Amino acid sequence: MDLCLDKGELLRVEAGTEGLTLRCLKGTIWLTVGNGRDYLLQPGARFEVKREMSAIAEALDPVEMRLYPALFDGAAIAPIANHIQVRLAL
């Protein structure tokens, strides 16, 4: 699933039972995972959110990102995109 966020927008990501990979395609993402650690993702970088964990992604500038189950390389996301839960954080 591909998503775009404008600067300052937040997105809550829930990894579910299989884990989730977040890949930064454009811009810079500030990612805070469930254990309180922070990471900066720039284009080409990916981060695996471990199963049963959640994360908050903040766009430091306009970003494009791709989310897919950790078991896949991103090529086969269309059939399983409805298994990923994301929420805009307010």
What single-letter DSSP state applies at residue 61? S
Q: Which residues contact 14 (CB under 8 A, 6 or more apart)?
A: 20, 54, 85, 86, 87
Tell me if 13 sits within 8 A of 47, measured CB to CB: no
pLDDT tens per residue across span 32-75: 998 789 999 999 999 999 888 999 999 999 999 999 988 765 54
pTM of this prediction?
A: 0.76
Tell me if 31 sits within 8 A of 56, measured CB to CB: yes
Query: What residue ranges define each of the domains in the chain, with the CATH number in brackets?
Result: 2-89 (2.60.120.10)
